[in-house]
Chain A
Amino acid sequence: MKYAMLIDQTKCIGCGACTVECKGKYEASFGVLRTSMIHYEIGSYPNVKAAFRKQACMHCKVAACEEICPVKAIYRVEGENGGMVVVDKETCLGCGACASACPFGVPQVDPGAKKMEKCSFCAQRVVNGKSTYCAEACPVGAIDFGEREKLIAQGEERVKALKSVGRSKAAIYGKDDTGVLLIIDGDPGNFGLVPEGFTLSAAGWQAINSYGGLAVAAALGGLGYRLISDRLEEVKKEKN
């Protein structure tokens, strides 16, 4: 992916400007959000720190959702400015298999449209050389959009600056794995993030997400199959 997003949790005020800007641009049922805010705390009172994480599709290099989608509705936009993971709504069954496999808990099935909703990295804008709506909206510059290599360099500078003022846990997350980069001040686990270098297959993630890793076979043969077959039945009925 040529372009990336750099989200700096050490600047984010958690206001939700990105959430409303995005929500107003992409139609979906009330409560189905392509990007949202999660508040995390580290430690206990009075030694407690807090930060907001912008929860949205990370546009993984190896995307479990893309891999698991039974109808290949999830695909990667091609081209020089492409690389983002998007959903083809025409093809999507709304079965939710992607949601069961995502390591970040991102995809949501819109109960109204019965289609999967997630951040598309504003693909229709980015392929035309524009930035994403959320990055343009952020009032405090916590969301940067730009060429990936430049953003990584910028992120590393930022981490250095944070460390120089005693924030020893400051780090850049996602350099090797995801299209979205995060500046975090803590361990990834503090913010509900999987450890870096994750390379599990979709089936592996699905098992972990659904059954805590206890019954991989059951997850695959049972839940995954059921979700898909149920939805295929529904689609058939709707068509009739």
Chain B
Amino acid sequence: MASSAAVAAGAAGNFLLSGCQPKEEKPVADDKPQRPLPAEPEVTATKFNVCNVCSANCAMFCDIVDGKVWRIRGNPDDQVCRGHLCVKGYSSYKMLYDPDRLKYPMKRTNPEKGPGVDPGWVKISWEEAFQLAGEKFNEAKEKYGPESIVFYTRPHDFAVRLAKAIGTPNLVRHHDTCYGSHEAVWRATVTGKGRPWMLDLYNAKYILSFGWDQPSKGKNMSAQGYIHALNNGAKAVVFNPMLTATAALASEWIPIKPGTDLAVCLAMINVIISEELYDKDFVEKYTEGIDQLKAAVQQYTPAWAEEISEVPAATIERVAREFATTKPAIVPNHKRDAGGPLYANSWRTSFAFVILNALVGSIDREGGVIFQRTPSLKPFDEVFPPLEFPKARKETIMGKEKFPVIGPTGKLGSVTMAEAILNEKPYPVKAMFVRKQNVLAVPDAPRFVEALKKLDFVAVADILPTEIVQMADVVFPEPHFLETSGMTERIYFAFYPQIALKDPVGDPLYETKGYGSIIIGIAKAMGLGEHFEGVSGGKLDDERLKALGSSMDELKASPNGLWSDQKPFKPKEEFGTASKKIEFYSTMLKEGGYDPMPTWQPKRDLPSNDYPFYLLVTRYAAHRMTESQNNELVMQVAPVNYATLNKAIAQQLGVKDGDEVMVESRVNKIKLKARVIEGIRPDCVSVEHGFGHWAKDLTRAFGVGANEGDLVPGFTVEEMIALKDPGATGCMSDVCVKVYKA
């Protein structure tokens, strides 16, 4: 990639950062263009920051012109982004300047709630906002018990402490829609803790993807690694019902029937074991249960898998052999691949991924799935020792206590939340605190809106006036990440411990407060301030850096905004299960009452006469979940979502490209424009996630496209238990639909 000119430009950027003036390369006088070209704006400062669009947290250089962010570049010394950002990172500064941002605390004056209802916002002071939240949360606590207050937030030390101080066990997490299946499987079979976050695609020679589609989704490090591997001559085989960019760039695309990846994986395991193609050293040293596995997969022949998946048996055999004999080989996973929380059988598919990777010796080995080497940060409770907390009730609305594998991680509850609230099971919920979550992110969003209406009080901390903000009683405006300071350890693709500095690009634009301050404000208003005595984000960062032998001052003085501990890669010799090995027969699953080995099970919802299409959910590279549809730069690239159909089936339906169609499931229906292509199975309809905003305050996003999540049924905790999924995950694509002309 590096041409001489590109290197020169990069070098100029680095001079700026180290405080030197970049060398002006003026054109020779004779070469002066005959007419003046537009001048390049003068960059007056460059600030370090860390992208918060996704959890990759790429390290950024923010070039400032006239006091505003003009350009964002990737930090070349950052091991995650390697000098380049993704489309979402490059466009992230437009959200900072979005005129629709939440600018000050507000309270609702209209008690009626719902889509199309004007909340009657009134500007209030921060003090009043905290008072209001404190009063209402205390009211719920006193009248109905602390468990009647639910936190629907992402993991954050401050929020967890507040929940504990209140005494509520109800911290609802979104992982059941995100990666809960992978988490549960890795926990039960390899780590005893969580799942790994690294794919060493850079060294992989054979990439076998089952719905893994990170490059199409623009995920920076995965896209870079994938293209790097292909350039290096790696072979990539992609099983996906749709010809996505990942599939189109691969050596081979196999349009598998949705939800049948497990069958193909099991048959491949069978081929690899029965033909003794597996890595015997690795399997013997680092795994347990190969004999049980061998016996269990004997029934899963390639011919059997062909019947289920429509993938020819000969293809399954050939790919299995290639995968096992080309080293290093990898079955990559991230979130919503075939082993992610898409189908009722996804956790089994994720288990099969673990086995395939282990059979070829690709777990924590070069070219395989690797555990992140993150800095060991001092825990929050060690920096700020907690006081005694009130005893919280065991029973939770998420049914945490009923899921022995995923329950202890707390990473569950969002897909069952609406039913728990509406059915008052196991007890009534009265108030909710929400941060960085949206109505459109859970299955059956309209049902969740009904649940929110039932609550007495909803407080939301956010940046934009999203749908969940429209359901709030009080709103706490937060700064955009480019306005925040601090430091971030990064997890994805962390080959060695590295920490990145966050330096605000300028003064905050609005009357916002950081999340930590919001939590502390609420705590004080509730009379729980003692739990946060001396607690601050700045102190936490500094104490953590000191424990690593550095300090915030040192990080700030660093020429590249990074703290790195570049240790060489040392493969793991033992794992975190009871046996210290990778368990093909999982004792944790067995003890939890789940299948200890990945046996075949079909997905939950299969096509019928009424609902003949599989629903596929895809993502635009430019969009970040439901957060980016008001960003004018992002909307230039991906302005609306579609119902994508195969050309032959569209003809049968009388649907032309651009026609409006209805997509209907047994729970809801949505209207979308049709996009007609060749590269999708005729029995599928695909919809991009993130659209269908009904908040009028999001002026650009409002009314654009539709939310495919409306089509996906939610369920009760009891129904979830019946699925026998150790990850308690959401079946986010496990629904069939009908499609007809609108």
Contact = CB atoms under 8 A, between A and B. Distances in A.
Interface in B640-692: 646-648, 677-682
Contacts of A141: 1, 227, 231
A15 B220 CA distance: 10
Contact of B637 (A12, A19, A86): A19
Contact of A13 (B6, B26, B216, B632): B216
Interface of A: 3, 10-17, 19-21, 23-25, 30-31, 33, 36-37, 41, 43-46, 48-52, 75, 77-82, 86, 88, 120, 123-131, 133, 135-142, 144-147, 150-151, 161, 165
A129 B678 contact: no
A136 B87 contact: no
Interface stretch (B30-38, B329-337, B424-432, B706-714): B30-38
21 contacts: A12-B245, A13-B223, A14-B245, A15-B621, A17-B84, A19-B637, A20-B633, A24-B633, A44-B647, A49-B248, A50-B243, A52-B245, A86-B37, A127-B33, A131-B5, A139-B218, A139-B223, A140-B224, A147-B3, A151-B3, A165-B251
Contacts of B220: 139
Contact of A136 (B9, B231, B248, B647): B9
Contacts of B633: 20, 23-24
A79 B679 contact: no
B86 A146 contact: no
B180 interface: no
Given A41-B243, A146-B4, 19 more contacts: A3-B5, A11-B230, A17-B86, A23-B633, A24-B93, A24-B633, A41-B679, A48-B679, A50-B245, A52-B245, A78-B31, A78-B34, A80-B27, A127-B33, A130-B25, A131-B3, A142-B227, A144-B3, A147-B4
Contacts of A147: 3-4
A31 B639 CA distance: 9
Contacts of B9: 125, 129-131, 136
Interface string B186-209: 000000000000000000000000
B547 interface: no
B85 interface: yes
Contacts of A10: 249
B28 interface: yes
Given A10-B249, A127-B31, A138-B84, A46 B12 contact: no
Contacts of A12: 245
Given A17-B85, A139-B85, A146-B6, A51 B90 contact: no
Given A10-B249, A17-B85, A128-B26, A150 B3 contact: yes
B1 A144 contact: yes
A128 to B, nearest CB: 5
B638 interface: yes
Which of A43, A49, A52, A140 has most B Cβ within 10 Å?
A140
Which of B33, B71, B216, B634 has most A Cβ within 10 Å?
B33
B90 A24 contact: yes
Interface string B414-457: 00000000000000000000000000000000000000000000
Given A20-B87, A75-B34, A11 B679 contact: no
Contacts of A86: 37
B680 A139 contact: no
Contacts of B35: 75, 88
Given A10-B249, A165-B233, A20 B622 contact: yes
Interface residues of B, number: 72
A136 B632 CA distance: 21
Nearest to B27: A127
Contact of B37 (A24, A124, A165): A124
B428 to A, nearest CB: 46
Contacts of B73: 136
A157 B353 CA distance: 36
Which of A15, A133, A150 has most B Cβ within 10 Å?
A15
Which of A11, A36, A75 has most B Cβ within 10 Å?
A11
B166 to A, nearest CB: 42
A79 B27 contact: yes
Interface string B30-56: 111111011110000000000000000
B154 interface: no
A20 B91 contact: yes
A41 B8 CA distance: 37
Contacts of B145: none
B504 interface: no
A124 B33 CA distance: 10
Given A82-B33, A88-B35, A128-B26, A15 B223 contact: yes
Interface string B695-739: 000000000000000000000000000000000000000000000
Contact of A45 (B27, B632, B638, B682): B682
B87 to A, nearest CB: 4
A185 to B, nearest CB: 10
A78 to B, nearest CB: 6
A36 B621 CA distance: 14
A19 to B, nearest CB: 5
Nearest to B93: A24
Contacts of B603: none
Which of A44, A130, A144 has most B Cβ within 10 Å?
A130
A77 B37 contact: yes
Q: Which 9 pairs, one residue from A and one from B, show the smallest C-beta to C-beta distance? A: A146-B3, A79-B31, A16-B637, A15-B621, A141-B1, A50-B248, A15-B218, A140-B227, A139-B84
Contacts of B87: 15-17, 19-20
A165 B230 CA distance: 11
A3 B64 CA distance: 28
A80 B31 contact: yes
Contacts of A50: 243, 245, 248, 679
A106 to B, nearest CB: 16
A75 B33 CA distance: 10
A10 B34 CA distance: 38
Given A17-B218, A80-B31, A131 B6 contact: yes
B636 interface: yes
A128 B678 contact: no
